[in-house]
Amino acid sequence: MTHLLAVDIGWGWTLAIKTVVVLGLIPLGALILGYTFLLKMMSHMQSRLGPMDPGGFHGWFQLVGDGMKFLQKEDIMPEQADRRVFALAPAVVVISTFLIFVVIPTGPRLVVKDLDVGVFYALAVSSLSIIGVLMAGWASANKFALLGALRAAAQLIAYELPLLLAVVGVVVQAGTMNLNGIVTAQQNGAIFGWDGLGNPYILTQFVGFALFLVAAQAELTQTPFDMPVAESELVSGYMVEYTGFRFLFFFIGEFGTAFAFAALAATLVLGGWALPGVHGGTADLLGPLVLFVKLMAVAFLIFWVRFTYPRLREDQLQAMAWKYLIPIALANILVTGLFKVWL
Partner 1 sequence: MSTTDRPVATRPSAVVPEIEVDPGAFRHLADAQMNVELDTGDMVLNLGPQHPATHGTLRLVVRLDGERVLAADPVIGYMHRGYEKLTEYRPYPQIITLINRIDWLSSFANEVPFVHAAERLMGIEAPPRAVYIRTILTELSRIATFILFLGEMGLQVGAMTPAFFGFRDREHVLNVIEGATGGRFHPNFNRVGGLKDDLPWGWIAECRRTMDIVFKSCDDFEDLLMGNEIFEARTRSIGIIPADVGTSYGVSGSNIRASGVDWDLRRDGDAYLAYRDVDFKVWTHPDGDSYARYWVRLQETRESARMVLQLLDAIPAGPIMAKVPRVIKVPEGECWVETENPLGQMGYYLVSKGSTGPFRTKIRSASFSNVSILPWLLQGVYIPDIITILASLYFILGDIDR
Partner 2 sequence: MTAVGPSAGDGGKKKSARRLPGQGLVEGLGVTLRTMFEGAVTVQYPHEKEEPPTRARGVIALKEENCTVCMLCARSCPDWCIYIEGHKEARPPRRAGGRERSVSVLDRFDIDFALCMYCGICVEVCPFDALFWSPEFEYSEGSIAKLLHDKRKLGDWMEVVPESEPLEVGAEIKAK
Closest approach of Cβ 313 to partner 1, in Å? Answer: 5
Return the number of the residue (45 or 285) whose C-beta is nearest partner 1: 45
Return the number of the residue (20 or 45) whose C-beta is nearest partner 2: 45
Looking at 7, 8, 10, 47, which residue binds partner 2 (CB under 8 A)?
47
Closest approach of Cβ 226 to partner 1, in Å? Answer: 7
**Residue 46, interface with partner 2 (CB under 8 A)?**
yes
Looking at 3, 19, 20, 48, which residue binds partner 1 (CB under 8 A)?
48
Return the number of the residue (3 or 313) whose C-beta is nearest partner 1: 313
Closest approach of Cβ 316 to partner 1, in Å? Answer: 5
Return the number of the residue (45 or 76) whose C-beta is nearest partner 1: 45
SS (H, E, C) 129-157: HHHHHHHHHHHCCCHHHHHHHHHHHHHHH
Closest approach of Cβ 235 to partner 1, in Å? Answer: 6
Return the number of the residue (59 or 105) whose C-beta is nearest partner 1: 59
Preceding amide of 105 cis, omega within 30: no
The residues in 223-282 that bind partner 1, with binding defined as CB under 8 A, are 223-224, 226-227, 230-235
Residue 44: half-sphere exposure toward Cβ, Cα within 13 Å: 9
Q: Which of 317, 316, 325, 312 is nearest to 223 (CA)?
A: 312
Return the number of the residue (142 or 332) whose C-beta is nearest partner 1: 142
Closest approach of Cβ 222 to partner 2, in Å? Answer: 15
Phi-psi region of 78 (alpha: psi -120 to 50; beta: other; left: phi over 0): beta
Looking at 11, 196, 310, 342, which residue binds partner 1 (CB under 8 A)?
310
The residues in 114-133 that bind partner 1, with binding defined as CB under 8 A, are none
Given partner 1, partner 2, none, residue 314, with its beta carbon under 5 to 8 Å by kind, binds partner 1
User: How many chain residues interact with partner 1 (CB under 8 A)?
Assistant: 30
- The stretch near partner 2 (CB under 8 A) out of 43-51, 70-78, 190-198, 234-242 is 43-51
SS (H, E, C) the chain: CHHHHCCCCCHHHHHHHHHHHHHHHHHHHHHHHHHHHHHHHHHHHCCCCCCCCCCCCCCCCHHHHHHHHHHHCCCCCCCCCCHHHHHHHHHHHHHHHHHHHCCCCCCCCCCCCCCCCHHHHHHHHHCCHHHHHHHHHHHCCCHHHHHHHHHHHHHHHHHHHHHHHHHHHHHHHHCCCCHHHHHHHHHHCCECCECCCCCCCCCCCHHHHHHHHHHHHHHCCCCCCCCCCCHHHHCCHHHCCCCHHHHHHHHHHHHHHHHHHHHHHHHHHCCCCCCCCCCHHHHHHHHHHHHHHHHHHHHHHHHHHHHHCCCCCHHHHHHHHHHHHHHHHHHHHHHHHHHHHHC
CB-CB contact of 224 with 217 (8 Å) = yes
Looking at 308, 335, 339, 340, which residue binds partner 1 (CB under 8 A)?
308
Closest approach of Cβ 305 to partner 2, in Å? Answer: 7
**Residue 45, interface with partner 2 (CB under 8 A)?**
yes
Looking at 48, 69, 73, 83, which residue binds partner 2 (CB under 8 A)?
48
Return the number of the residue (81 or 240) whose C-beta is nearest partner 1: 240
Looking at 120, 300, 307, 322, which residue binds partner 1 (CB under 8 A)?
307
Binding site for partner 1 (CB under 8 A): 42, 45-48, 143-144, 147, 223-224, 226-227, 230-235, 307-316, 319-320
Binding site for partner 2 (CB under 8 A): 41, 43-49, 52, 304-305, 307-309
